Amino acid sequence: MLQQVYPSPQHDYVYELNKDFHFAAAHYVPSEEAGKCQRVHGHTYYANVTVAGDELDAAGFLVNFAIIKKLIHERFDHTLLNDDTDSFDEADPNRFPTTEVVARTVCELVQQYLDGTANKPVCVQVFLRETPTSYCVYRPKRKGGKSHE
């Protein structure tokens, strides 16, 4: 596993956990601006998901590390991202499977799971590395409009 220092989101929660995992996926970006990336090609995406909260669950977890990885692996590992039309849409640039959109989608999928838990932690950051030289950091806005930073 790639070890690196990630940017820290700021928040007022007492617990923060981070889960690193990777998944392999193919994609293409359906825009002329994407150049060679318009062609189908593959990446090993390296993700770091940050979850924060004030309460633990019955297992003493903020959230089980394994569940975060499983959620994303079951959805995207060894897939063509463009085929996942629930997550991505070739008619809408805000839903092309770019690093930015994949990072946001990972955050939304994790948050959807967290919303169904009793202790209700929040996903405050997703760091997603697409290549050795390219990555995106996504921080959702807080409900009041501010981001967790």
Ligand X SMILES: Nc1nc2c(c(=O)[nH]1)N=C([C@H](O)[C@H](O)COP(=O)(O)OP(=O)(O)OP(=O)(O)O)CN2
Nearer CB in complex with Zn ion: 12/33: 33
Is residue 130 part of the annotated active site? The answer reads yes
**In the 8-state DSSP scheme, what is residue 96?**
S
55 is catalytic: no
What is the smallest separation between the CB atom of 99 and ligand X, expressed in angstroms? 4
Residue in the structure block whose two tokens are 């990630």: 6
Residue 13 contacts residue 142 (beta carbons within 8 Å): no
Q: Which of the following is catalytic: 11, 107, 123, 130?
A: 130
Q: Tell me: is residue 43 an annotated ligand-binding position.
A: yes
CA Rg value for the chain: 16
User: From Zn ion, ligand X, none, which one binds at residue 131 (CB under 5 to 8 Å depending on kind)?
Assistant: ligand X
Question: What residue 99 binds from ligand X, Zn ion, none (CB within 5 to 8 A, per partner kind)?
Answer: ligand X
Give the per-residue contact string, 35-54, with Zn ion (x = CB under 5 A; - = no).
--x-----------------
Known catalytic membership, residue 78: yes
Please check whether residue 89 is in contact with residue 31, taking contact to mean a CB–CB distance below 8 angstroms. no
One of 37, 73, 100, 136 is an active-site residue; which one? 37
41 known member of a binding site? yes
| Nearest-CB residue for Zn ion | 37
Q: Of 22, 65, 49, 54, whose CA–CA distance to 139 is shortest?
A: 49
Give me the residue label for tokens 């499983």.
Answer: 70
Closer residue to ligand X (CB): 28 or 53: 28
Query: Among Zn ion, ligand X, none, what binds residue 71 when CB lies within 5 to 8 Å by partner kind?
Result: none
**What gap in Å lies between CA 16 and CA 18, rounded to an integer?**
7
For CA atoms 103, 106, 112, 117, the dihedral sign is: negative
Tokens of 58: 């019955």
Catalytically active residues are: 37, 78, 130
Which spans of this chain sit near Zn ion (rule: CB under 5 A)? 37
